[in-house]
Structure 1
Amino acid sequence: MMLTQDFSTGVAIADDDITLVFQGAWHPSLESNIVQSRTMFPGAKVIVSTLDSDPVLRPLGVDVDCVVSADPGALPPYKRDKRAPVNNVNRQIATSRAGLARVTTRYAIKIRTDCVLSSRACVEKYGHIASHPQARDRLLASSIYTLHPDGIEAFPFHLSDWFFFGPTELLRAYYDAPFMSDEDATWFEVGSEHARGSSYFARRYVARYTPEQYLAVDFAKRSGCYSTPSFINDSNAQIDAAYRRFLADQCIVCDPDELGLRFDKYAHAARSNYQFFNCLWGSDWRELCEQSGHTSPAFRLAVSSPSSHAPRGLSTVRHGQRAARRRAVVQTMRRLDFIFPLLRTTGLMPLVGDLLGFYRKL
């Protein structure tokens, strides 16, 4: 039996106290993903939670519990883009909620059916940071698509939904959200206008919130502890401070490599110059916690100390340099905002990536 020390209680997290919940549409790599992930967690339970509309339902073996839910259907694409995917947030809520409802273990990993865990790093990372009381009952999430408060898009309360690890009850609470309404899904298409000064990237959205935001905003709002945005790029000093506090109080944000998380479909995101300045990377989250005035010195020390799988974070000097570069990038992007529609129409948007690559190398 594999064990990982949970320093918050002085006992080890055993595999048989963890359930892997693979959530989403059936994927050709699902069986392989289960096998590989189980190699890392040989004693863990496995649940696959999918929808009755999936045409590829088939048995996965006696050790896999399959949960099938009624398909709530897709919402319209949440961006103005010919290639924009449909909005599947309600399908994510349905499958995540149903899968987590079947869990009987203290801890759970919520992971997409097209993702795989290549190590036990996520549990070891959680155990390392959970050695202090302020770290109890946190959501361990991926840095990619957790948006930085000072990033290019800067959409507040945007927490990546690829992967979560934490106490099962907390994950259930996170997904205890109502389905997104048709009104919210078409918020900027019917009746509402984008706020004055909204960036090109915000103006592309037709939904009131991104799928990631919708879940995080609902969870934060139910807690009664945070000022939350009323729409995708709604922000002021109070909301910005609340988002930073939410990240420091409720989350542990790590890069996929730190989690042992592999997501081949979005491998390009880790290399993207745009996402480099858009996302809250693990070193950024650690810096945010270290600068936080409402977390204890002991917790800030635990966050700054790398676990066995976590790469050592950027030095204070290097982080300061990256913060300065991010501010310069955001200012430049704001100045060039007027030209982005033309660049997209003419197929020249890759030039933006080249510009960001220049800043990244400074």
Structure 2
Amino acid sequence: MSIDFKDISVVIQGPVQAYQGRSQEPGITHKCIASIRTHLPGATIILSTWEGQDCHGLNPDILLLNKDPGATIVSYNAKGEPGKLNFNRQIVSSAEGLKQVTTPYAVKIRSDNFLTSNDFVAAQQAFPARNDASKLFTQKVVTNTSYFRRYADGQKIVMLPSDFFHFGLTEDLLKIWDIPLFPDREFDPTKAGSPQYRGAPKVGPHAEQIYCNAWLRKLDSTVPYLQHRHQNSPELLAYWERFIASNLVVLEPEQIGLGLIQRFIPKSKRPNEICHQDWLLLYKQYCDPSIAISKFDIFKTIGWKRMCKLPFSYIKHQLTQIKK
């Protein structure tokens, strides 16, 4: 079944100007909108941003000026100074935009990314096999390998998908983004003088892990609360890999047709990130044994780099923990 572009809405979420803590390439949101008009003619464009943002010259079909929830306090350092991340800004701009969608399919894209093709539309249905016991989405959701990490500090980790780009059924994207806002972390005076954050004194989860853990626990009550970055077990890793194979289609940016601004483009593929071949191997293992992919195929591209770099990353992390 082919998907007609008129059955797709594109939610562009985030700021269209720089603000404190978030730089912005001038004119990038104009470029994003123009690229959608070029590569998805007939699709509905929804720009979901903040009150006070200068949207002059932008021409989305729907413009949402959300009330800015502000940055979220997620930590305190030893001096009691708060650390903030844009958790709720991303949730509000994504979820409120998706709630305006009336088409069966939707794209969620950052306001500082853009399209270079529409290849992701066909790719969404190119891998139909599922592991029935692991299905949490109605259909597959296409996502991006950039910042989709399989390793951190030389160790395999779980629940760290990229949040740059999603394409799939609107109902499935809402499963990811329509989650409760995160409350500010309250300062605990009994822990004054020590860092306070989720998982302390172990290494805290990455922001993407915290997002993913929240929506995955909403979909499946058996998923544990992720206390720290490296929390893992053979059972949890297998669960995460089955989920990836059965519910996602993980593609390189060029396979999606996703354009990234310069600061997101590495000089070479990062060994700690998933690659499309990694995902294909999981898809073969859990969904479709007929897929032609092997571990040696991965070794020839990114595997040998991992063998060289990951052990050093692990040793460096262990030494850092000892110094603490």
- TM-score band (shorter)? 0.7 to 0.9
Aligned partners of 2:242 and 2:305: how far apart in 1? 23
Aligned-pair RMSD on alpha carbons? 3.1
Task: Report the residue type matching 1:318 in the other structure.
Answer: D
How do 1:150-299 and structure 2 match up within 5 A? 152=154, 154-183=156-185, 189-190=195-196, 193-195=200-202, 203=203, 205=204, 209-224=205-220, 227-228=223-224, 229-269=226-266, 271-272=267-268, 276-292=270-286, 295=287, 297=288
Equivalence for 1:329: 309
Describe the shift of the 1:211–1:316 C-alpha distance in structure 2 as closer, same or farther (beyond 3 A).
closer
1:164 partner SS: strand
Residue pair 2:124, 2:141 contacting (<8 A) in 1 also? no
Moved more, 275-284 or 162-171: 275-284
Aligned partners of 1:127 and 1:284: how far apart in 2? 19
Equivalence for 1:31: 30
Equivalence for 1:89: 87
Equivalence for 1:119: 117
How do 1:67-86 and structure 2 match up within 5 A? 67-76=64-73, 86=84
Match of 1:60 among 58, 61, 67: 58
Task: Report the residue type matching 1:281 in the other structure.
Answer: C
Describe the shift of the 1:218–1:140 C-alpha distance in structure 2 as closer, same or farther (beyond 3 A).
same
Task: Report the residue type matching 1:334 in the other structure.
Answer: Y
**What are the Cα deviations for residues 338-362 of structure 1, in whole angstroms up to 9, with x where unaligned?**
6669xxxxxxxxxxxxxxxxxxxxx
Task: Report the residue type matching 2:124 in the other structure.
Answer: Y
Cα drift, residue 153 of structure 1: 5.5
Cα drift, residue 70 of structure 1: 1.0
Residue pair 2:109, 2:165 contacting (<8 A) in 1 also? yes
Aligned partners of 2:297 and 2:171: how far apart in 1? 38
Aligned partners of 2:221 and 2:282: how far apart in 1? 19
Aligned partners of 1:250 and 1:185: how far apart in 2? 38
Describe the shift of the 1:154–1:58 C-alpha distance in structure 2 as closer, same or farther (beyond 3 A).
farther
Aligned partners of 1:265 and 1:76: how far apart in 2? 28
Residues matched between the structures, number: 296
Task: Report the residue type matching 1:157 in the other structure.
Answer: M
**What are the Cα deviations for residues 135-155 of structure 1, in whole angstroms up to 9, with x where unaligned?**
851221100111115873544
Residue pair 1:150, 1:327 contacting (<8 A) in 2 also? no
Moved more, 142-151 or 44-53: 142-151
Describe the shift of the 1:23–1:156 C-alpha distance in structure 2 as closer, same or farther (beyond 3 A).
same
Aligned partners of 1:185 and 1:105: how far apart in 2? 43
Task: Report the residue type matching 1:255 in the other structure.
Answer: E
Describe the shift of the 1:44–1:21 C-alpha distance in structure 2 as closer, same or farther (beyond 3 A).
same
Describe the shift of the 1:324–1:265 C-alpha distance in structure 2 as closer, same or farther (beyond 3 A).
closer
Cα drift, residue 327 of structure 1: 4.5
Task: Report the residue type matching 2:70 in the other structure.
Answer: G
Ranges in structure 1 where 5+ consecutive residues have no aligned partner: 1-5, 7-11, 196-202, 306-313, 342-362
Describe the shift of the 1:42–1:168 C-alpha distance in structure 2 as closer, same or farther (beyond 3 A).
same
Residue pair 2:75, 2:196 contacting (<8 A) in 1 also? no
1:128 partner SS: coil
1:13 partner SS: coil
Name the structure where helix makes up a greater proportion of residues: 1
Residue pair 2:149, 2:273 contacting (<8 A) in 1 also? yes
Equivalence for 1:308: none
- 1:18 and 2:8 equivalent? yes
**What are the Cα deviations for residues 72-117 of structure 1, in whole angstroms up to 9, with x where unaligned?**
101247798xxxx951121000000110011000000000111111
Task: Report the residue type matching 2:314 in the other structure.
Answer: R
Give identity over the alignment, percent. Answer: 24
Describe the shift of the 1:41–1:157 C-alpha distance in structure 2 as closer, same or farther (beyond 3 A).
same
2:314 partner SS: helix
Aligned partners of 2:96 and 2:69: how far apart in 1? 13
Aligned partners of 2:278 and 2:186: how far apart in 1? 31
Describe the shift of the 1:242–1:226 C-alpha distance in structure 2 as closer, same or farther (beyond 3 A).
farther
Residue pair 1:152, 1:277 contacting (<8 A) in 2 also? no
Describe the shift of the 1:144–1:190 C-alpha distance in structure 2 as closer, same or farther (beyond 3 A).
same
Cα drift, residue 232 of structure 1: 2.5
**What are the Cα deviations for residues 160-203 of structure 1, in whole angstroms up to 9, with x where unaligned?**
000000000110111121112222999983275233xxxxxxx4
Aligned partners of 2:187 and 2:120: how far apart in 1? 33
Aligned partners of 1:241 and 1:79: how far apart in 2? 34
Moved more, 107-116 or 212-221: 212-221
Ranges in structure 2 where 5+ consecutive residues have no aligned partner: 18-26, 78-82
Describe the shift of the 1:177–1:44 C-alpha distance in structure 2 as closer, same or farther (beyond 3 A).
same
